[in-house]
Structure 1
């Protein structure tokens, strides 16, 4: 590495003098500082050696000859510098010098390892090594060797990752203290008994570090505790009947106890997942887990009635599951917060949709989507209305923003909605619900002036015109009752709706025609 001298400055500490010959017999001296160390490999020369020409101001000589002992450079290298001339020769000489310097430095590194000397520029103070261990030199890759592509590692047992099951439904949760009323005889003097759940229950002041969390379930009445059960897992759901208490825990267990004594009727059942919904009716227990698996047991008969995934019913729908129930006949019902109610048909082994989806209800005329008033005691008499009322999706539907569609489309969607309600009530065998929606259908046809569709319904309610049923196919297939209601009584009630309608004059002829036939039929029966 060539370092040009500073003009007018002479260093008194001359450790080495290098003489350069030229055609003018002039000599220039360069002070070179010796460094005892090993040149770090893979350090390229920052500036190539300069070849002075006759026009050079620093050295008028034509060629420069470096001594053989200069910084470990081989003796043959100066001869190459003296013979080089021109740009092409200078580039070739610099490349050869880089290769030889690097190879020589690496060879010296292997023969005698010495501490690495930090290079510094002239005029700057020396840099001191602040670390106790010098950095390992980085060896430059050979230009001839091609980089080897990284091969993918074969899968090992430690790299196997098992994805956790996707939770379709959230896990049920109870507050720190919850109370469930136990059904039974209601007395105004004595309050009803309660099933009390106390999570993270502390026994006195002995709880300290390392004490496990205890959870307590008890039956109390008038502040008198009948029985107590302690658990080590958090209670997530709890329900009670007049004979049974059931609750689930965070450790995927289901506990079934006698409500009077607190004795376990069965050992804890291990569920497939954590509980999301729990329902108990007499001796039947229904559990819906977070992976959308619905299971029904009859714990008295110790028999599983149903175990089926309902993932297809809850995925892709707005909202979650409000609750699960059993009808009076033991049919499972799944209620969603969006307003849909699904019931399972055992014969078809499929789930049926009761009511309609929210996307259809917002397109229906609002006055026909309102549900009838339903009391909690009407669960058996009006099962459809009771189920849909629990979803709270049909209440106040007239205030929902409705898209703008054509009148024909809205009229058709309204008729389809009412027909679905009629079919749902007929499947549930609910006479009250069926009569309510049949009356809504008559009111809709009267408002829209659909005389032909009104005649189809009135003809079925009136029955065959010919009272002689012999050799009359229509008379043989016609039934006088529908869902426990007399058809002729229904016709008389529905004809009054024509008189109450605003367009009663338009349908006056229809009213007179069927009213006269109905009166004639009633006289014949008398």
Structure 2
């Protein structure tokens, strides 16, 4: 190990309250001069600072060099404040960026925690109130499911990011603690299994308490420091090393602990004693610590105004695992709590038996995989006679054999294919195609508009495409400047074909990724794509695309733009070149996302495709999400699936009567408006006494709430009303076990059948199913 205390890192002898190493490992930030209490880097290179002025400032790199303050030295780099966040009523003591979400958490002496929307500063996601003392530390679960905070009120609280409710509050290890520390910076292990607190007490001595995830037990701790622990910081890497003469390498985590006793200790979770302890490293309390991305460098700062750096070797800490190795180690830790839920899968989406209509944009609705048998190839063609007596045979599409289905399909799809007969191309040597003669006379060289059946296959990616006559290639004598007059093509809007609403063009789109910003501006049916490096005012490169853009996604490795014609165009962020030909999803876009060199597309028909973008595009995931949106929007909640009753008849009559007076109601398009719409339909059904419609809208509301985040409390209210009171309060309750002649417990059992098909809600299912079983017994 090497130790360095650079004398050129100084805040004019003022305390340095915080230190953080940049994600690229090439620079670090310190805070403390004047009123700054905390500095934290985001994964995208933004710097957040919070201080005694109750304000959080977001900084962005603005180029090399810069002006100097009066009497000071010139700056090497220029950083500009891009946003100022004001809502706290007291000093801001700690900050934390969410690992996988655009959130920033801030802790303050006003006893609150604020979750900021980093994608749209200064919007606030939530304000968490529950502490009764100064909140001095905050940290995110690396999975993104929880947020933990520690306060002077002698408690540590864990919050759920699903609905921002308090998951648990732990106070026993902190009862004997006093408010003697400036900060209480706790930390979560990179595997998410352990949360380590700052100042705790055990047997009258200071410790750092270890809290296990899930059951939140706290029977272990790190001991040895003589005074209160002020900060804990886990290394973001998981390490591997052979220990104790073992032939097999072991995986473990590493963390640093700082204390008011001026000492810094480094621990490995595979050892019972610290790997290293440096006593009297500073002349005052240790206040913060930070690990470099490589995992072998550690920085720490102190109240005495100095910073220390330590560099370790792999022989000392071990070999850091790469992300793929970490996934192999911890990716299989998910355990089914109730194996019976494996048999409770959501019903597969059904397709209509009538032939699908050809659509004008070349897209055919994707047919979801289902256990139904695969249809044999079509063996009939149509023969017609033109007006000049010539024969004309309509071409027929012959689907490929089922063994060409992509191997990346889901388990259900694979099982369905195995259970169905396969058709080999060598089983027949003679054609079995039958020609059907028609007496119709058609004009020669004119495309007929007869409906053609789209062959049904078990692979959602196999679709029949046709060029729209209105968008056919113009004659060679047309001039190039007429290309902007092409009209965007539309998707078939028949029942059962649209699961998610298709994206529509907007004026402009923007996205921030890594060190560059991407903007797309739509003008005259063209999309103008511009890429800016850092804070440059001039674009690094730009180009025009032939249709309006409806979606934009970007990562450090790829930029993806979805156009109104349904195609996806990918670009290299640095060069502006196209690494692969345009991608062709099976239907218009509903969602576009990019991570690393992967691009995910969700089509409005529910098909999910993930392409790996390299020297070419490689389809790595092909599945369907239509079952998740069985009740995902208002457009799928009306139509043939809605039972006929007083409510539907009344609404139809009202729409016909008021058609010329009132504008058509706009269908709900976001989560809150859809919930409001469903609740309105539910209450109207109850008021009209329509039993079947009430059941329909109730199940629709339950199904939609299961697909949303942050609505668990609303879901529990509905289930609690169906469950009724417990035995102890049943005699005094006014709860009615019936509604519109339906037993509420029967309705609850039906709702649990839907909940059981969603594994993410398995605990909710077990909780209410056990209560219902005990009430019945």
Higher helix share: 1
| Structure with the largest fraction of strand | 2
Q: With the length of structure 2 as denominator, give the TM-score of the two structures.
A: 0.24
- Larger-Rg structure: 1
Comparing both chains, which one has the higher relative contact order based on Cα–Cα distances under 8 Å and sequence gaps of 6 or more?
Answer: 2
Compute the TM-score of the two structures, normalised by the length of structure 1.
0.34
